[in-house]
Amino acid sequence: MDLALLRSTFAVVERRAEHAVTYFYSHLFWRNPGVRELFPADMAPQRDRLFAALAHVVTGLDDPGLPAYLGRLGRDHRKFLATPALYAAVGESLLAAFAHTAGAVWTVEAEKAWSEAYGVVAELMLRGAEESAAAGEPAWWDADVVGHERHGGDLAVLTLRPRRPYPFLPGQYAGVSSLRVPRVWRTYSLGNAPREDGTLDLHVSRIRGGAMSTALVEEVRPGETLRLSAAGGAATSHTAPGGLRTYVCAGTGWAPVKALLEEAAACDPGAEGRIFMVARSREYLYGREDLDRLAARLPGLSVTPITSAPRHPRDQATERLLTALRSCGRWPDHDVYLAGPPGFLTEVTEVLTELGTDPSRLHHDALPPAGRFAARPSSRAEWLLHRPAVHWHDPAARAPRED
């Protein structure tokens, strides 16, 4: 593939992302009327995800890990009932949208390069889907809600019982769908290590304007059925027995950390290290009792809960955390597990790197930023080095995306 040509073309299209995406979906639904019913009513988050995926692929075309990523993506797209015919339709509409948006840079050579590149991408995704199906993995797992516990006004812990064995590792996440919000999938961390009874917990924080999180926190009740996609994520345990480790979590980032602690308590009770649990105020330390029980089973781990002082800004909790981290030593010897909002992860990662933590020993899942960059790159090189979030001319017209 002509990587330079693909990237230079995409750099032009990305600057008109809102036009390209609007044209793409209009073309797709006009040429394939039956496809519209596969998508949610609110297409705004879907548009963001499309361009985020495209940007990831384009910037990683020469990454040896790209085929594995696309295989996982194809496996995950089984939950959308994606067929070879749909892949072909998407490719046709994508090229049409690029031709419409790229202007003079859309040459015969560019069209040929993108046609070949999309063919490779589709082939790898379809192969991942086929391998998943051949292994007997369902497109999704039906799971009954057997518990729903509220913590304050904006947070709930849902306990689910999948109807068939659901394989996952502590620290991973799952896509979740509810009939209350048709055709919408959102990702949530799994809040426990595997249990004998097969149940699992979802920790959900209600996002203002978020249809799925609002439904899960305020509306879903025991007896209902949710759908789960295959578990994913790489923030699993990477520490050998007896190795030093640090866990840092904020908000519902407590869910994957709790799962990792449960695993350590069962497999490595002599583990040494530290736990920092951050919340914007005391009432949001909803997992403190569970943390105390786990700490009793892991006496080698020191526990530090951190909140903002009463009547102080919530950001003070992060400032207090960074001060606490700077007071600790031996960072090069620790594996560090992080979980929380994207901005929190970025800030903490920068400080830990400055303190000497080996970047290869910093473990967390990459999440897209929730906000928008005000400034745009001035060149293709700058775009490749600092890939921006998708920019929309009227962000106020969009529903806030959910974590």
Domain containing residue 80: CATH number: 1.10.490.10
Tokens read off for 47: 């548009």
Order of all β-strands in the sheet with 272-279: 301-307, 272-279, 244-250, 335-339, 362-363
Helix (H) or strand (E) holding 156: strand 155-162
- Judgement on whether residues 148 and 201 belong to the same structural domain of the protein: yes
Q: What pLDDT sits at residue 392?
A: 31
- Judgement on whether residues 102 and 60 belong to the same structural domain of the protein: yes
Q: What pLDDT sits at residue 398?
A: 32
- Judgement on whether residues 40 and 53 belong to the same structural domain of the protein: yes
- Which residues form the domain of 346? 244-363
> Is the per-residue pLDDT at 251 higher than 50?
yes
CB 171 within 8 A of CB 256: yes
Confidence of residue 396 (pLDDT cuts 50, 70, 90): very low
In a domain, residue 211? The reply is yes
Q: What pLDDT sits at residue 378?
A: 43
Domain boundary among 228, 258, 273: 228
pLDDT one-digit tens code per residue, 157-169: 999 999 999 999 9
Domain boundary among 80, 107, 136: 136
- Judgement on whether residues 27 and 146 belong to the same structural domain of the protein: no
Number of domains in the chain: 3
Residues 244-249 have a mean pLDDT of: 97
> Is the per-residue pLDDT at 394 higher than 50?
no
| Domain at 157, CATH number | 2.40.30.10
Tokens read off for 318: 């992060």
Domain boundary among 89, 114, 136: 136
> Is the per-residue pLDDT at 316 higher than 80?
yes
Its pTM surpasses 0.85: no
In a domain, residue 389? The reply is no
Q: What pLDDT sits at residue 403?
A: 41
> Minimum mean pLDDT among 178-187, 264-273, 357-366, 381-390: which range?
381-390
> Is the per-residue pLDDT at 92 higher than 50?
yes
- Judgement on whether residues 252 and 358 belong to the same structural domain of the protein: yes
- Judgement on whether residues 177 and 90 belong to the same structural domain of the protein: no
Residues 242-265 have a mean pLDDT of: 96
- Judgement on whether residues 19 and 97 belong to the same structural domain of the protein: yes
- Judgement on whether residues 257 and 349 belong to the same structural domain of the protein: yes
Cα-Cα-Cα-Cα dihedral sign, residues 395, 396, 397, 402: positive
- Judgement on whether residues 338 and 256 belong to the same structural domain of the protein: yes
Quote the percentage of the chain above a pLDDT of 90: 67
Confidence of residue 174 (pLDDT cuts 50, 70, 90): very high
Q: What pLDDT sits at residue 380?
A: 44
Residues 82-103 have a mean pLDDT of: 94
| Domain at 323, CATH number | 3.40.50.80
In a domain, residue 161? The reply is yes
pLDDT one-digit tens code per residue, 182-213: 888 999 999 999 999 999 999 999 988 889 99
Tell me the C-alpha distance between 204 and 327, whole Å. Answer: 32
Confidence of residue 311 (pLDDT cuts 50, 70, 90): low
| Residue found under tokens 């606490």 | 324
Q: Compute the mean pLDDT over every residue in the chain, rounded to the nearest whole number.
A: 87
In a domain, residue 332? The reply is yes
> Minimum mean pLDDT among 34-38, 248-252, 344-348: which range?
34-38
In a domain, residue 194? The reply is yes
Residues 259-276 have a mean pLDDT of: 95
In a domain, residue 37? The reply is yes
In a domain, residue 393? The reply is no
Confidence of residue 15 (pLDDT cuts 50, 70, 90): confident
What Rg, from alpha-carbon coordinates, does the chain have?
22
pLDDT one-digit tens code per residue, 101-131: 999 999 999 999 999 999 999 999 999 999 9
- Judgement on whether residues 122 and 173 belong to the same structural domain of the protein: no
- Judgement on whether residues 194 and 130 belong to the same structural domain of the protein: no
Q: Which candidate, 189, 193, 188, places its Cα nearest to that of 170?
A: 193
In a domain, residue 235? The reply is no
Q: What pLDDT sits at residue 332?
A: 96
CB 365 within 8 A of CB 233: yes
CB 337 within 8 A of CB 248: yes
- Judgement on whether residues 124 and 148 belong to the same structural domain of the protein: no
